């Protein structure tokens, strides 16, 4: 008994509908993934990117580093309570090869900035910092905390003494506290860069560089000459450094495994 032609048409139409539905679901999945990535960037200023045999986590530190007190709604801020658990997840994630820190910060809370810097410095994963617009104030320790550091030629860094807002008690103990905090920052910079601490202190205390403040402003080339930053470079240089560090770490792990087998 012959099969009516309309049955074939219905069968073909059904298959076509199923294919269209599958394509729509795949498109929705891709759109959902893109939406999730965009949401991560908007909320945390960070994203994990992969390509050319490298999977890295890109973290941005912009505006002011927000510490124990909330900043005004009109100010861009990086919240340290978001970055600290993020750094833990990057360190423990075997799928992530390294961390790229993008800096364009005017500074902020000293203790919060140092906390983030100490976390980055203690990581075993390859870490690279890149100063784009500015790495001012507490941004200096953040920049030097990575294993390798870069700065674009047009970027700048401001070195100035620790300051505090609000009520200040006019007593010798207050200035002693400021000095100790300044020493903590200088000690960290000296331990994680090639800069001479005495030279950095001298630039911090200069009185003829900034019209309304004490300190110095240095550009990218000067930061490298001073030893604060490793090299003048951009995004491609930072990614190349991470790839090189990944390969070195893989080679070290391979050699350690061979030695253990012996």
| Cα separation, 139 vs 145, whole angstroms | 10
| Cα separation, 17 vs 202, whole angstroms | 74
pLDDT of res. 57: 95
Q: Which residues contact 220 (CB under 8 A, 6 or more apart)?
A: 131, 151, 152, 153, 154, 155, 156, 229, 232
Query: For 178, how many CA atoms within 13 A lie in the half-sphere containing its CB?
Result: 14
> Domain boundaries in the chain?
45-261
What residues are annotated to the active site? 137, 160
**Integer angstrom CA distances of residue 78 from 42, 121, 239:** 12, 18, 23
- CA-based nearest residue to 160, from 100, 238, 226, 218: 218
> For 176-227, what is each residue's pLDDT tens digit?
888 899 999 999 999 999 999 999 999 999 988 887 788 999 999 999 999 9
Share of the chain above pLDDT 70, in %: 81
Topology of the domain covering 45-261:
2-enoyl-CoA Hydratase; Chain A, domain 1 (3.90.226)
| Cα separation, 188 vs 197, whole angstroms | 10
> For 133-189, what is each residue's pLDDT tens digit?
999 999 999 999 999 999 999 999 999 998 877 778 888 888 888 889 999 999 999
pLDDT of res. 78: 85
pTM: 0.79
Output the six-digit token pair for 83: 């970055």
Mean pLDDT of 241-259: 85
């Amino acid at each position: 008994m012959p099969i009516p032609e309309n049955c074939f048409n219905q069968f073909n139409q059904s298959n076509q509908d199923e294919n269209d539905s599958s394509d729509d679901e795949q498109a929705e999945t891709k759109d959902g993934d893109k939406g999730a990535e965009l949401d991560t960037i908007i909320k945390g200023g960070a994203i994990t990117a992969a390509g050319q045999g490298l999977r890295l986590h890109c973290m941005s530190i912009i505006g002011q580093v927000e510490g124990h007190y909330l900043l005004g709604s009109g100010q861009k801020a990086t919240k340290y309570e978001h970055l600290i658990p993020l750094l833990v997840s990057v360190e423990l994630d075997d799928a992530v090869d390294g961390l790229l820190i993008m800096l364009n910060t005017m500074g902020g809370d000293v203790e919060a900035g140092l906390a983030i810097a100490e976390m980055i410095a203690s990581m075993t994963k390859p870490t690279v910092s890149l100063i784009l617009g500015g790495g001012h104030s507490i941004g200096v320790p953040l920049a030097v905390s990575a294993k390798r550091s870069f700065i674009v030629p047009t970027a700048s860094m401001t070195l100035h003494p620790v300051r505090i807002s609000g009520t200040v008690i006019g007593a010798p103990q207050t200035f002693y506290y400021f000095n100790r905090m300044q020493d903590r920052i200088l000690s960290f910079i000296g331990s994680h860069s090639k800069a001479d601490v005495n030279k950095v202190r001298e630039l911090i205390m200069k009185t003829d560089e900034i019209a309304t403040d004490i300190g110095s402003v240095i550009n990218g080339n000067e930061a490298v000459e001073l030893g604060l930053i490793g090299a003048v470079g951009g995004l491609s240089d930072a990614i190349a450094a991470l790839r090189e560090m990944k390969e070195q770490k893989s080679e070290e792990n391979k050699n350690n495994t061979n030695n253990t087998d012996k």
